[in-house]
Chains A and B, each alone.
Chain A
Amino acid sequence: MEHALNELGPIAVHKVSYLWLIPLFPAVGAFINSLFGVRIQRAIGKQAVHVIAIAMMALSFAVAARAFLEMVSLAPDERFLQQTLWNMVSAGRLSFDLAFALDPLSMMMVLIITFIGTLIHVFSIGYMAEEPSYWRFFAYLNLFVFAMLLLVMGDNFAVMFFGWEGVGLASYLLISFWYTDIEKAKAGMKAFVVNRFGDFGFILGLFLLFWSLGGVWEQRADVRSLSYQPEIGERAVPEARNPFLAVGPKVAEVHEHQVRIGPTLNFRELRDQVVIEGTGVAEHLKHQVVWGFALMAVVGILMFVGAMGKSAQLPLYVWLPDAMAGPTPVSALIHAATMVTAGVYMVARLSYLYALSPTAMGWVATIGILTAFFAATIGFFQYDIKKVLAYSTVSQLGFMFVGVGVGAYWAGSYHLLTHAFFKACLFLGSGSVILGCHHEQDMRQMGGLKKHMPVTAWTYLIACWAIAGFPWAAGFYSKDEILWKAFTARDLAFLGHSAPWLGPAIFVLGILAATGTSFYMFRSYYMTFTGTYRGGAGHAEEHDEDPHSAHAAPHHVTAAHPHDNVDPIAGHGAHGKDDHGHGHGHHGATPHESPLSITAVLAVLAAGSVLAGLLGIPALWTGHEPLLERWLAPSLPAEVHFEEFPHSTELLFQCLGFAAATIGWFFARLLFKDGKSAVPAQLKKNFFGAWTVVYNKYYVDEAYHAVVVRPSLFLARFLFWFDQHVLDWMVNFVGWLGRFVANVDGAIDKYIVDGAVNAVAGLTGEAGRALRRIETGRITTYLYGLTLGSLLVVLFNFLFR
């Protein structure tokens, strides 16, 4: 065992002094715009507001690029930049710093966030131009980027969790950005509350992990302790340097470095002790059982619950489609490119922990593929262009989780990267369309936009290629790698039982989901950009048979009543219906191409959607492993086993992926090109029941409403009643009692204490009044008194001698 050390050693840390600048700049931007934005906007104009915000983003990106260059110059195994600012908490065995770290994985994330973030800030100039509280939007956006950077750059769980909660807050603020519209305020609240569920799981998992690493606060005879003493024998030397390990210090010397063993929140310390076999921690964790379950499975699943919330996986995905209530740049930045990938990042970051538990991996992959498939089917029948993209985001996130779940951590992260580009491009493209069509989001009111908005159409098409998985765009490489790895994965387990069938099953569902993805994405493309413009024409027959008109769940209003002027954006007060040029009343007006700030950003993102493919050209084609895999390898030390197949098999699977994309595209083209085919309407008529169920998103929201919301409300009402009638009664009784006692006390005070005081005063006064008569002021009177007194003294002296 001693000499069977893994080749992996502890991470070599390169201390640098500029990492804090990366999150600082957006924080400063948010600070300035939130405190002085309204004055700046009034005094100088909107340009000043966005110049500040974008300059901060650009500076942040510049520092990130500087860090990237430094990292590239280091040897692959030493790519770890770290900066500790100060110690935040030191309590018992718990200690953590405000510290930032960049390894290849977080470097990739930081570059995505700052680069795409900057682009989306630029896009927002054009998109939000009519917005009165422009400054507020940019302040929130900067705040979001700040929190997101904390999340990915945190050197320990605490900083990461600050970011984790911070992005939740920013997301809430931005979804309900137009808060005067109650539906949007509700959507923001829904996102926040659903995320709280997930965060709770995440925290529990974190506590359990900390505990299992030996972080037991106190030994008690009646509680079986999970703390352990690894067998490291003679190599154990007392460790005095680190105060939080003062209790039961254990240090294993591996090579010339020291690795601390014990409870920690620091990712690097955690990674070192788990990854280096000599410490025995991995073995310990693997065989630890808690309440009859494998510990690592419980930890992994609980932490994944956090990812389910943040990254919108089954069953906590419901907030993401509603989050489309926010402005479109927000949907692109937060709800597609960055924040929702936080869960994927977290699983990849903890790859070495997930690799310890096949059950947790199987769980992640299963949830991922089910989400991918489920969300893809909902995407088929949505009419709101943003809703289509929202469900496709949920679906693609599912694919990412399949990647990180089956152990292809780099592939999951790669899909995260490509998805950030093509989904940002799609969302911004939809934003451009919405702007061009005067705040119309219903695809049935679009059509033929290619003529009017060529740049938007082309970029949208390129992004569609990417997401559908055509080999000339990036999405193919990441999705194909994920599905291939899923097929070959052999380490998975399903709820504790080894499940070699799980990988192939995931592959089959994945191919189906990929076909569906291709179908609904091209459906949205053809409905939006081909045929003739239908804006303002009206589709009475569609409207009549629309199940929503009878069913009208509040958040479906947009799709269900295209003629009722209740479009969430146009209906908002900030976008006054008639008093500005883009009012909703001008339905018949021709759509127009968006300004340069929008089309330029779209072009950059479309280029990214293609070029990102270069990072992941499979080894099968080039003979050496993909660029990104090599880059990420130091960050993803987990050992996961995949079955070897001959090259021809892999090639066949790649062809399958291509075929899936083509089939999806073919049917979409057949059914929706130019809006001429009558088949969709016919199919809809024939399978109206099934169509209704899927169109209503399988009634998941309604189920939630019945199962979670209503009981919660009932409980809340009951508690309100309890509060009103029982608690308040008690409080009132105590109040009444207090008043009673106070009255008694007051009476005592008034009549007895005050009476005594007044009596003394009155007596003194009376005495004074009586005695003042003898004070005549005449000398003679006093002399009489003197004489009389003297005589009395003499008399007494004489009588009582």
Chain B
Amino acid sequence: MAHVTLSHFLVVGGLLFALGLFTVLTRRNAVAVLMGVELLLNAANVNLVAFNHYVVGGLAGQVFTLFVIVLAAAEAAVGLAIVLSIFHTFKTIDVRAADLMRE
């Protein structure tokens, strides 16, 4: 088994980020967009943990990651509430429909 290095983690983080970004940018379903956001946040989490382990040491990165997870939970709650509200308004959760700011 090959030795696992920082680069492996970074590649995983980068892939996760790319997938998340791709999801956010391409999906029309608001719930899917929120999922993409989760991926983005977790990509950042991987990076935090990995840098903490290989570069800094200590626990600061892990603690940050925990905060981000909590934050993600809260964000998911708020985000879903917004999606619900959008659905109420537009009778759809297609993000393209919510373009009132254009006016």
Bound Cα distance from A374 to B102, whole angstroms: 109
The closest CB in chain A to the CB of B103 belongs to A777
Instruction: Please name all residues of chain A whose beta carbon is closer than 8 Å to the beta carbon of B101 when the two chains form the complex.
Output: 777
Instruction: Please name all residues of chain A whose beta carbon is closer than 8 Å to the beta carbon of B103 when the two chains form the complex.
Output: 777
What is the minimal beta-carbon distance from A21 to any residue of chain B, in angstroms?
86
- Among A777, A783, A784, A787, the residue within 8 A (CB) of B102 is A777
Bound Cα distance from A783 to B95, whole angstroms: 12
Task: Tell whether, in the assembled complex, residue A777 and residue B21 are in contact, meaning their CB atoms are under 8 Å apart.
Answer: no
Task: Tell whether, in the assembled complex, residue A779 and residue B95 are in contact, meaning their CB atoms are under 8 Å apart.
Answer: yes
Task: Tell whether, in the assembled complex, residue A780 and residue B102 are in contact, meaning their CB atoms are under 8 Å apart.
Answer: no
**At the interface, yes or no: B1 with Cβ under 8 Å from chain A?**
no
Task: Tell whether, in the assembled complex, residue A787 and residue B96 are in contact, meaning their CB atoms are under 8 Å apart.
Answer: no
Instruction: Please name all residues of chain B whose beta carbon is closer than 8 Å to the beta carbon of A784 when the two chains form the complex.
Output: 25
Task: Tell whether, in the assembled complex, residue A777 and residue B25 are in contact, meaning their CB atoms are under 8 Å apart.
Answer: no
The closest CB in chain A to the CB of B96 belongs to A778
Bound Cα distance from A784 to B26, whole angstroms: 10
Task: Tell whether, in the assembled complex, residue B25 and residue A776 are in contact, meaning their CB atoms are under 8 Å apart.
Answer: no
User: Which residues of A (741-797) have their CB < 8 Å from a CB of B?
Assistant: 775-780, 783-784, 787
Task: Tell whether, in the assembled complex, residue A780 and residue B25 are in contact, meaning their CB atoms are under 8 Å apart.
Answer: yes
What is the minimal beta-carbon distance from A559 to any residue of chain B, in angstroms?
99
Bound Cα distance from A779 to B100, whole angstroms: 11
Instruction: Please name all residues of chain A whose beta carbon is closer than 8 Å to the beta carbon of B25 when the two chains form the complex.
Output: 780, 783-784, 787
Bound Cα distance from A712 to B98, whole angstroms: 95
Bound Cα distance from A102 to B103, whole angstroms: 94
What is the minimal beta-carbon distance from A777 to any residue of chain B, in angstroms?
2
What is the minimal beta-carbon distance from A162 to any residue of chain B, in angstroms?
81
Task: Tell whether, in the assembled complex, residue B99 and residue A776 are in contact, meaning their CB atoms are under 8 Å apart.
Answer: yes
Interface size on B, residues (CB 8 A): 11
Task: Tell whether, in the assembled complex, residue A780 and residue B95 are in contact, meaning their CB atoms are under 8 Å apart.
Answer: yes
**At the interface, yes or no: B16 with Cβ under 8 Å from chain A?**
no
Bound Cα distance from A775 to B103, whole angstroms: 9
- Among B21, B24, B102, the residue within 8 A (CB) of A776 is B102
The closest CB in chain B to the CB of A790 belongs to B21
Task: Tell whether, in the assembled complex, residue A787 and residue B95 are in contact, meaning their CB atoms are under 8 Å apart.
Answer: no
Bound Cα distance from A356 to B25, whole angstroms: 122
Task: Tell whether, in the assembled complex, residue A775 and residue B21 are in contact, meaning their CB atoms are under 8 Å apart.
Answer: no
User: Which residues of A (190-214) have their CB < 8 Å from a CB of B?
Assistant: none
Instruction: Please name all residues of chain B whose beta carbon is closer than 8 Å to the beta carbon of A778 when the two chains form the complex.
Output: 95-96, 98-99, 102
Bound Cα distance from A588 to B18, whole angstroms: 133
Task: Tell whether, in the assembled complex, residue A783 and residue B100 are in contact, meaning their CB atoms are under 8 Å apart.
Answer: no
What is the minimal beta-carbon distance from B102 to any residue of chain A, in angstroms?
2
What is the minimal beta-carbon distance from A488 to any residue of chain B, in angstroms?
118
User: When A and B form their complex, what is the total count of cross-chain residue pairs whose Cβ atoms lie within 8 Å?
Assistant: 23
Known contacts A784-B25, A787-B21, A787-B25, A779 near B102 by CB under 8 Å: no
What is the minimal beta-carbon distance from B41 to any residue of chain A, in angstroms?
15
Bound Cα distance from A780 to B21, whole angstroms: 11
User: Which residues of B (2-24) have their CB < 8 Å from a CB of A?
Assistant: 21, 24
Instruction: Please name all residues of chain A whose beta carbon is closer than 8 Å to the beta carbon of B98 when the two chains form the complex.
Output: 778-779
What is the minimal beta-carbon distance from A788 to any residue of chain B, in angstroms?
11
Instruction: Please name all residues of chain A whose beta carbon is closer than 8 Å to the beta carbon of B99 when the two chains form the complex.
Output: 776-778
Bound Cα distance from A590 to B96, whole angstroms: 118
Bound Cα distance from A783 to B20, whole angstroms: 12
Interface residues on A, range: under 10
The closest CB in chain A to the CB of B26 belongs to A780
The closest CB in chain A to the CB of B27 belongs to A780
The closest CB in chain A to the CB of B36 belongs to A783
Instruction: Please name all residues of chain B whose beta carbon is closer than 8 Å to the beta carbon of A783 when the two chains form the complex.
Output: 24-25
Bound Cα distance from A778 to B28, whole angstroms: 11
Task: Tell whether, in the assembled complex, residue B95 and residue A777 are in contact, meaning their CB atoms are under 8 Å apart.
Answer: no
What is the minimal beta-carbon distance from A772 to any residue of chain B, in angstroms?
9
Instruction: Please name all residues of chain A whose beta carbon is closer than 8 Å to the beta carbon of B102 when the two chains form the complex.
Output: 775-778
Bound Cα distance from A779 to B98, whole angstroms: 8
What is the minimal beta-carbon distance from A774 to any residue of chain B, in angstroms?
11
What is the minimal beta-carbon distance from A612 to any residue of chain B, in angstroms?
107
Instruction: Please name all residues of chain A whose beta carbon is closer than 8 Å to the beta carbon of B96 when the two chains form the complex.
Output: 778, 780
Instruction: Please name all residues of chain A whose beta carbon is closer than 8 Å to the beta carbon of B100 when the two chains form the complex.
Output: 777
The closest CB in chain A to the CB of B97 belongs to A778
Q: Mark B66-103, 1 if CB is under 8 A from A, else 0.
A: 00000000000000000000000000000110111111
Bound Cα distance from A787 to B21, whole angstroms: 9
What is the minimal beta-carbon distance from A508 to any residue of chain B, in angstroms?
118
Bound Cα distance from A776 to B98, whole angstroms: 11
What is the minimal beta-carbon distance from B46 to any residue of chain A, in angstroms?
19
Interface centre among A776, A778, A784, A787 (most CB of B within 10 A): A778
The closest CB in chain A to the CB of B25 belongs to A783
Bound Cα distance from A783 to B40, whole angstroms: 13
Bound Cα distance from A777 to B99, whole angstroms: 5
Instruction: Please name all residues of chain B whose beta carbon is closer than 8 Å to the beta carbon of A779 when the two chains form the complex.
Output: 95, 98
Instruction: Please name all residues of chain A whose beta carbon is closer than 8 Å to the beta carbon of B21 when the two chains form the complex.
Output: 787
Instruction: Please name all residues of chain B whose beta carbon is closer than 8 Å to the beta carbon of A776 when the two chains form the complex.
Output: 99, 102
Instruction: Please name all residues of chain B whose beta carbon is closer than 8 Å to the beta carbon of A780 when the two chains form the complex.
Output: 25, 95-96
Q: Mark B17-53, 1 if CB is under 8 A from A, else 0.
A: 0000100110000000000000000000000000000
What is the minimal beta-carbon distance from B93 to any residue of chain A, in angstroms?
13
Bound Cα distance from A779 to B101, whole angstroms: 9
What is the minimal beta-carbon distance from B86 to any residue of chain A, in angstroms?
11
Instruction: Please name all residues of chain B whose beta carbon is closer than 8 Å to the beta carbon of A777 when the two chains form the complex.
Output: 99-103
Instruction: Please name all residues of chain B whose beta carbon is closer than 8 Å to the beta carbon of A775 when the two chains form the complex.
Output: 102
User: Which residues of A (356-393) have their CB < 8 Å from a CB of B?
Assistant: none
What is the minimal beta-carbon distance from B36 to any residue of chain A, in angstroms?
10
Bound Cα distance from A491 to B96, whole angstroms: 127
The closest CB in chain A to the CB of B100 belongs to A777
Bound Cα distance from A776 to B24, whole angstroms: 17
Bound Cα distance from A710 to B52, whole angstroms: 121
Bound Cα distance from A545 to B100, whole angstroms: 113
What is the minimal beta-carbon distance from B77 to any residue of chain A, in angstroms?
19
Bound Cα distance from A777 to B100, whole angstroms: 7
Bound Cα distance from A778 to B99, whole angstroms: 5
Bound Cα distance from A777 to B98, whole angstroms: 8
The closest CB in chain B to the CB of A779 belongs to B95
Instruction: Please name all residues of chain A whose beta carbon is closer than 8 Å to the beta carbon of B24 when the two chains form the complex.
Output: 783
What is the minimal beta-carbon distance from B10 to any residue of chain A, in angstroms?
15
The closest CB in chain B to the CB of A777 belongs to B102
The closest CB in chain B to the CB of A776 belongs to B102
What is the minimal beta-carbon distance from B100 to any residue of chain A, in angstroms?
7
Bound Cα distance from A413 to B25, whole angstroms: 122
9 shortest A-B CB distances, which residue pairs? Answer: A777-B102, A777-B99, A777-B101, A778-B99, A783-B25, A779-B95, A778-B96, A776-B102, A780-B95
A: which residues have CB within 8 A of B? Answer: 775-780, 783-784, 787
B: which residues have CB within 8 A of A? Answer: 21, 24-25, 95-96, 98-103
19 pairs of residues in contact across A and B, judged by CB atoms under 8 Å: A775-B102, A776-B102, A777-B99, A777-B100, A777-B101, A777-B102, A777-B103, A778-B95, A778-B96, A778-B98, A778-B102, A779-B95, A779-B98, A780-B25, A780-B95, A780-B96, A783-B24, A783-B25, A787-B25
Extra contacts, 20 of them, besides A776-B102, A778-B99, A779-B98 (Cβ < 8 A), are A775-B102, A776-B99, A777-B99, A777-B100, A777-B101, A777-B102, A777-B103, A778-B95, A778-B96, A778-B98, A778-B102, A779-B95, A780-B25, A780-B95, A780-B96, A783-B24, A783-B25, A784-B25, A787-B21, A787-B25
